[in-house]
Amino acid sequence: MIGVSSSSRSFTTLGRYLVAGRNGDAEGRIAWSSGRNLPTDDPVLGAKIMRATASQNVRVAQPVYHLALSFDPRDAVDRAAMERVADRVLAELKLRQHQAIIVAHADRAHPHVHILVNRVHPETGLVWDRWQDYALIQRVLREEERALGLRTVEGHAGPGLDRESRPTERTNKTDRGEDGAASRGRHSQPANLSAIRADLDSHERVTTLGRQRFEAERDLAGANGRRDQIDVAYERTRRSESALDAALGRAYRNPGEAKGQFVEAAEQLGEREAARRMRESPETFGALRTINGDRAAHAASVAEAHKAAREAASFGVEFLASRRELARVVAPQSPDKASSIESGLTSGREAVAAAVSAARLRLQTLGEATKRLPSRDAIEQRLAHQLRRLSPPEFEALRVKLSPQQFTLARKFRQMIRDAALGRDDEP
């Protein structure tokens, strides 16, 4: 079997590709599909659910993990065997609890499956690290080939792995008992300690930039959120004031005066009491808009004015509440000061616009700084290559050449290399 893995950004793009390919022709492409930790077996719908789950961790740039497993064309494997291998790989990679979709294609001569995995854990939100996944995948494939009686089809190393991570001809000879002195000598060559220190410096810088970008993204989201709050509060105030003015215009001869009287009464007596008085005694707030004609026409106009006043009372309460909310948003330190609303609205919007611009500029600056450095994956691959070559005494010699933080990081990488089962049983 051959196993190839990669990471990417878009769940939906990969989901659509698994269904319809590059040409958009879905007919006869999928043999079967099966979900893991998802309420569906549909690749496109599953991809959308994974995207929603991954959004809980804004720091992961590539939440998509894609694994393709290919069998020899001469091996008649059924669905049960394919799912067994896929589930075993997920288990060994510690992805059993993650959301995944397994898709078997029928459009090639050789049997093969694709596994779309969400690197973000659905409950904890933590991101699975694909460090040295290739070694684990190859070990599982070799074991499953023997267990299922399948042909051995060893593939090339996965993306980002150097040649030292691959099983070589000389390594295989050593396993068969032949002379491996040359191989051991090659692996015992001293690593470049200056290069290790430089890569650790770069790793610290990339990590710091990543943290700063997360903070800038958080600041940008907060500024955008406050801008939306202001816009929503302002629109609510505008609509409620427009409805209040319209109702007052139908009820009073001087609606502006009545509005001022109502606001003053609300400040002195409370909004509920002011609304009650407008409903029950609207004349308290000014002369009603009535018709001085015959008795019937006058009575009808009075009734219409009273009805409009009752509507105005309800709109008035809503207006005062929305006005208070707007004051809280634009002037959080003094939300009860009505005079701060109009003046604070402009300054609040200007402050938010400045915060958005500053956060975007900072993100742009941090992005440009990140582009000038190697990628985190590339740095970690180089460190893995260098640290793997060190004997225990050589590794301990790093202690005096590195800062305590860098040495701790180097030890972490060594531990990860050992956990990846690369054959270094004498690691400290």
Q: What is the pLDDT of residues 387-396, one digit of tens each?
A: 777 777 878 8
Q: Is residue 17 in a domain?
A: yes
**How does pLDDT run across 152-189, given as a tens digit for each residue?**
765 443 333 333 333 333 333 333 333 333 333 333 34
Of 336, 355, 374, the last residue of a domain is 355
Q: Domain holding 102: CATH number?
A: 3.30.930.30
Percent of all residues in the chain with a pLDDT value above 90, rounded to a whole number: 37
pLDDT of residue 23: 75
Helical H segments across 111-151, by residue range = 133-148
- 230 and 334, same domain (yes or no): yes
Q: Would you call 100 helix, strand, or coil by DSSP?
A: strand
- 144 and 6, same domain (yes or no): yes
**How does pLDDT run across 20-46, given as a tens digit for each residue?**
887 777 778 899 999 999 989 999 999
Between residues 56 and 341, which one has the greater pLDDT? 56
pLDDT of residue 46: 93
78 has a pLDDT exceeding 80: yes
pLDDT of residue 419: 52
Domain that includes residue 259, residue range:
221-355
| pLDDT (mean) for 349-373 | 87
| pLDDT (mean) for 237-264 | 93
Between residues 134 and 100, which one has the greater pLDDT? 100
Q: Is residue 424 in a domain?
A: no
The mean of the pLDDT values for the chain is 81
340 has a pLDDT exceeding 50: no
106 has a pLDDT exceeding 50: yes
- 132 and 10, same domain (yes or no): yes
**How does pLDDT run across 45-58, given as a tens digit for each residue?**
999 999 999 988 88
- 6 and 108, same domain (yes or no): yes
pLDDT band at 403 (very low <50, low <70, confident <90, very high): confident
**How open is the CA angle 22-158-410, to the nearest 5 degrees?**
135
Whole-angstrom distance, CA of residue 255 vs CA of residue 357:
42
| pLDDT (mean) for 303-310 | 94
pLDDT of residue 342: 64
150 has a pLDDT exceeding 90: no
Between residues 300 and 378, which one has the greater pLDDT? 300
- 79 and 226, same domain (yes or no): no
pLDDT of residue 161: 34
Residue 229: enclosing H or E segment and its boundaries?
A: helix 193-251
Between residues 375 and 188, which one has the greater pLDDT? 375
pLDDT of residue 175: 35
Q: Is residue 410 in a domain?
A: no
Taking a C-beta distance cutoff of 8 angstroms, is the pair 90, 100 a contact? yes
**Tokens read off for 146:** 């023997």
Whole-angstrom distance, CA of residue 421 vs CA of residue 107:
35
Whole-angstrom distance, CA of residue 424 vs CA of residue 31:
41
Q: Is residue 340 in a domain?
A: yes
Bridge partner list, 252: 288
Q: Is residue 182 in a domain?
A: no
373 has a pLDDT exceeding 90: no
